[in-house]
Structure 1
Amino acid sequence: MSASAEEKDVYDEINITPMLDLAYVLLVIFIIMTTASVQGITVNLPKASETPAIAKPKTKAVSITADGTIYLDTYPVSIEELERLLTQYKAADPELPVIIKADSTIQYQKVIDVLDVVGRLEITQLGLVTQRVVK
């Protein structure tokens, strides 16, 4: 009788460690996914089969809308202002990451102009944002 009583005691408690591990993993995934989206101007992104990794928190977003307006984060700028502001940000952070979000319907020359500015400033951490094609 004592052996069966001991077996009952073994299963009286629920081990919640695996559930806590799952909760922590879900929390980390949620944090990563919410910081991955860069706030800014809404543009219709071109489609790509693969999407690059998550953007860094100090990342500067250059958005080009369908009408050709260029935004640095959420502020409209000209090419000259963009170069001046990115120069200031690069002076503060030499490893300045920049992402470019361009509407898929704009003229390619606008993107090239922005890429020229980024190239002149020797910004090496550059990303082009696309949307993942759902298959």
Structure 2
Amino acid sequence: MGMSSGAAGGSSRNRRGRAKRQPMNEINMTPMVDVMLVLLIIFMVSAPLMTVGVPLQLPETNARALNADKQPITISVQADGKIYIQESEIPVDEVVTRLQAIAQTGYEERIFVRADQAVEYGTVMKVIARISSAGFSNIGFVTAQDAQS
């Protein structure tokens, strides 16, 4: 029965019998991956809620959804006649100049028109006439899905 020295046992121990801690030379990726997955889930859930911030009560139709490959320009007409491009309120006279400033692909830019179901037909047609007379031809209407379909 002999006493073992520190080097003979294979593990490096100090005088008190505890193992010496070696500096870690690898990065632990698990916490970073966990945080990234949580952020991904948060953005996936919240992204559809951030589309357009102008509250409207859209008319319901049985039309199928359009495939939008990129974010279109959205023009909203509220029940009281206020007009918005994206989320900025503008006067009806400035619709064309703002569209021309925003359009990245020129007159081929996709434009979605959203109008509250209580808006007069003439108001919506006035906005659409200004857009189409300026040369924009890719205009779509946004409606809510019919609850019965």
Gaps spanning 5+ residues in structure 1: where?
A: 1-30
In structure 1, C-alpha distance between the alignment counterparts of 2:136 and 2:49, rounded to whole Å? 20
The CA deviation at 1:68 is 0.8
2:96 matches 1:99: no
Report the Cα distance in structure 2 between the residues aligned to 1:75 and 1:88, rounded to whole angstroms. 14
% identical aligned pairs: 21
Match of 1:85 among 87, 95, 98: 98
- Asked if structure 2 preserves the Cα contact closer than 8 Å seen for 1:58 and 1:96, the reply is no
Q: Unmatched 5+ residue regions in structure 2?
A: 1-43
Q: Which of 109, 113, 124 is the matching residue for 2:122? A: 109
What do residues 80-102 of structure 1 show as CA deviations (whole Å, max 9, x unaligned)? 11111112234x42221110000
- CA distance in structure 2 between the aligned counterparts of 1:89 and 1:110, rounded to whole angstroms: 22
Give the structure with the higher percent helix.
1
Q: TM-score, normalised by structure 1?
A: 0.67
Task: State the partner residue of 1:10.
Answer: none
Contact 1:89 1:96 in 2 (8 A): no
What is residue 26 of structure 1 aligned with on the other side?
A: none
Higher relative contact order (CA 8 A, sep 6+): 1
TM-score normalised over the length of structure 2: 0.61
Cα distance change on mapping 1:103 and 1:42 into 2, 3 Å: same
Aligned to 1:68: 81
